[in-house]
Structure formats: C-alpha cells, structure tokens
Amino acid sequence: MADDRPVPLDEYPVHQVPLSMKHVATGDRNAYDRCIFHVFDHSGRALLILGLGVYPNVGVIDAYATLRTGDILHAVRASDALGDDRMRLAVGPLRIEVEEPLRRFRLTCDDDALSCDLNWTGDFPALWEPHHLQRRGDRLTLEGRRFVQAGGVSGAIRAGGEEFRVDPAGWTGTRDRSWGVRPIPGEEGGRLAEENPTEGFHWIWCPVRFEDRFLMVVTQEDADGYRTLNDATLVRPGRRDRQLGWPRAEIGYRSGTRHPEHAVVHLGDARGPQELEVEILASSPLAIGAGYPPADDWQHGTWQGHAWVDRRTYDMTAPHPRAAYGVTDHSARFRLDGRVGHGIFEHGSFGRHDPSGFTGFDSVAP
C-alpha cells in the first residue's frame, strides 16, 4: 500500500495544485526536475559537469559528475529510490546544497574515483530561457521551463592522482535549472513515432560570462532549418536586458566529423550587428558518463536498484560512436565587442541539416 502522508515541503505555502508536494500535476512518466552545473578553467585543462535530477512518476533520483582532463574522462554516477524530502539534493556520494537560492551553492562529490568540494556563486541574475516545446506528431514529448546563470567558483577537484585548485580568477561556473516533461528511456513508440521519424536536429546552448555582463544564446532547428527555439539576451546589472535578435552561427567543424573547433555567432539589433567569436577549449560529450541519450551504459531516470553507484574512466582517444549522435558540452573562450569571456558552447548536430550542408546521419564536414 502506498504511503500518502504529507511530506516536509507541504509545510510551506508553495503549492500550485491541490496535491501534496510529493506529487506533480501530471501523470506523465517522463516528468522530471533537475539541474546541471559546469565548472571549468580558462586554459582548457579541466571541465567538470555535475548534475542531479528527480523523476517523481518513476520514483527515481539520480546524479552524476564527470571530469574531462586531457584525454581522460572520469565519471561517477549514482541512483536510488526517490524519498519524501525533496529539499535533500543528495544521492550516493553526490550532493548539491542550496545555501542561498539563486545565489550560492555547494557542490560535493565524495568518492575516491572523483571528488570535489566547490562553492558556486552567481555573479548575475538568473535568466529565463524560452518556454521549450517539442512534439512528435500530435504527441507532446517535451515541455520544459528553464533558467540559466553564470558565476564564480572556488574549491578543489581531485581525480586520477591530480588536484585542481579552483578560484574565480581562473575558473568560471554556469548552471541550468529545468523541470517539466522530457523523454526518459522506456518511452513508447507506436504510430506517431513510426510516422514522424527524426530527420535531423541542430542545437546550440551558450551561456557566456564576461566581467561585467552575461550573454545567453540558444537555438534549435529541424532538418530543414526551421527554428523551434530562438533567443539571444545580454544581461547587464542595473540595465534593461538587451535582445540581440536572430542568432546565426557559422561553425568550423573538424574534417570528417561534426566536432566544432571554432565558431562565430552573428548577433545584433537596431543598434547594429555584433559577432560572438568562439574558441573551443575542452569537450565533454554528454552521452559519455553523464547519462544523456544515446548513452548505452546508463541514462537518467532509469531504475538501477537501491543505493547504486557506478564509476567509469573513459579513454577519449578511443572511438565512441554514440557520442556522434548526442550533445557535447565545450568549455570555450569568447570574444564580443572587445571583451573576453568564458562559458559553455553546447552543441549537437545529427541527421540532416540543410543550412549546414549535412544530408543525413552519416554526413560529416569535408
């Protein structure tokens, strides 16, 4: 028999529907609520990605940390049954503490394979991203609400016998917070999936921290270039946010791949055009270690049993075919209007994409 007693969060006046905070308003099995943090140095030596998610309608909480340094990627993943205390963001050796909402966080991973103890501090206000909707035929497959933020980080990261001392002068942090409905493994196929196959997907998600401003660019395009998500916003404290139009990216791919080596994102408004130059520093495919599709060793929201912890070390010089069909997070150096900044150039391009000249899933840069 299910235990449907009130949970601690029910004591607070935060309810949106006449349900316990233990439950979400939708019965969709794909309901999710999660976050992702990026911590990276400005020379490209290290890129740490740490995330945690809950999946209330499948009863799972899971988390992961990956560290890309040189040709090695270290990963620790943990999963467990979702409990009643939704304010306890911890599973296995991974923990996220909200010390001051929208401002200060402590990120820890206490594991011999990969450990970190970091203080993450927002330097700019959190910024809403566009409401994200995706359908397969008439079926709503993704509806997400997200905000993004950039800040400074201090602390330490250890893995593979190496220690990185993290400080705001030489390191940057970004984060993404999202919730809604998003496919997890086990999603049914059926007629809509069969009659509406994915022809192509092209994605850019790009938060950039400059000393005195924050820039967020996000685009998603279908195979023919039809844009289903579009935003470019410049945030300057004390001033009205500036909308920078219709971002248009020119990406220089490594020959024989869809791996970006550099890019220019064209921005602008009535005051004139601007160019965001992108120099890739380090790369971490989210399908390797971090549990994003099409990972074949673990994916978010999947039941692994009680108190499951898994540790992996990946040789990034070896072929990883599945990584070619997922999204990769690249730490990067950016230049805009004479300023140098640092952030994440998250990119995924697979299948047909007419604006880039890619004709199918096996098409790559010349």
**Is residue 362 in some structural domain?**
no
Range of the domain at 197: 32-181+191-356
Domain containing 151 — which CATH number?
2.40.370.10
CA dist 54 and 60 (Å) reads: 6
The model's pTM = 0.96
**Is residue 299 in some structural domain?**
yes
Q: What is the mean pLDDT of residues 154-180?
A: 97
**Is residue 3 in some structural domain?**
no
* Average per-residue pLDDT for the chain: 95
pLDDT for residue 324: 86
Please say if the pLDDT value at position 87 is more than 90.
yes
HSE, side-chain direction, 13 A CA sphere, residue 315: 3
Per-residue HEC secondary structure of 177-235 comes to: EEEEECCCCCCCCHHHHHHCCCCEEEEEEEEEECCCCEEEEEEEECCCCCEEEEEEEEE
DSSP state letters, 53-103 = EEETTTTEEEEEEEEEETTEEEEEEEEEE--S-TT-EEETTEEEEEEETTT
**What count of other Cβ atoms lies within 10 Å of the Cβ of residue 5?**
9
Residue pair 76/50 in contact by the 8 Å Cβ criterion: no
Name all contacts of 135-142 with Cβ < 8 Å and 24+ positions apart.
136/192, 136/193, 136/196, 137/191, 137/192, 137/195, 137/196, 138/192, 139/192, 140/181, 141/30, 141/181, 141/183, 141/187, 142/180, 142/181, 142/182, 142/183
- Confidence band (pLDDT; 50, 70, 90) for 1? very low
Name all contacts of 151-154 with Cβ < 8 Å and 24+ positions apart.
151/120, 151/121, 151/122, 151/123, 151/124, 151/175, 151/209, 152/120, 152/121, 152/123, 153/39, 153/118, 153/119, 153/120, 153/121, 154/118, 154/119, 154/121
Q: Which of 185, 179, 188 is nearest to 32 (CA)?
A: 179
CA dist 7 and 83 (Å) reads: 10
pLDDT for residue 191: 85
Burial of 77: CB neighbours in 10 Å, binned 0-12, 13-18, 19+ = buried
Domain count, the chain: 1
CA dist 315 and 69 (Å) reads: 11
- Confidence band (pLDDT; 50, 70, 90) for 136? confident
Report pLDDT digits (tens) over 108-131: 999 999 999 999 999 999 999 999
Q: Which residues contact 226 (CB under 8 A, 6 or more apart)?
A: none
**Is residue 159 in some structural domain?**
yes
The encoded tokens of residue 138 equal: 């008439």
**Is residue 27 in some structural domain?**
no
pLDDT for residue 3: 67
Q: What is the mean pLDDT of residues 335-345?
A: 97
Please say if the pLDDT value at position 291 is more than 50.
yes
**Is residue 1 in some structural domain?**
no
**Is residue 363 in some structural domain?**
no
Give the range among 1-10, 213-222, 316-325 with minimum mean pLDDT: 1-10
The encoded tokens of residue 254 equal: 């490594």
Local structure of 130: helix, strand or coil: coil
Q: Each residue of 144-167: b (16+ CB within 10 Å) or e?
A: bebebbbbbbbbebbbeeeebebe
- Confidence band (pLDDT; 50, 70, 90) for 190? confident
Please say if the pLDDT value at position 318 is more than 90.
yes
**Is residue 293 in some structural domain?**
yes
pLDDT for residue 2: 56
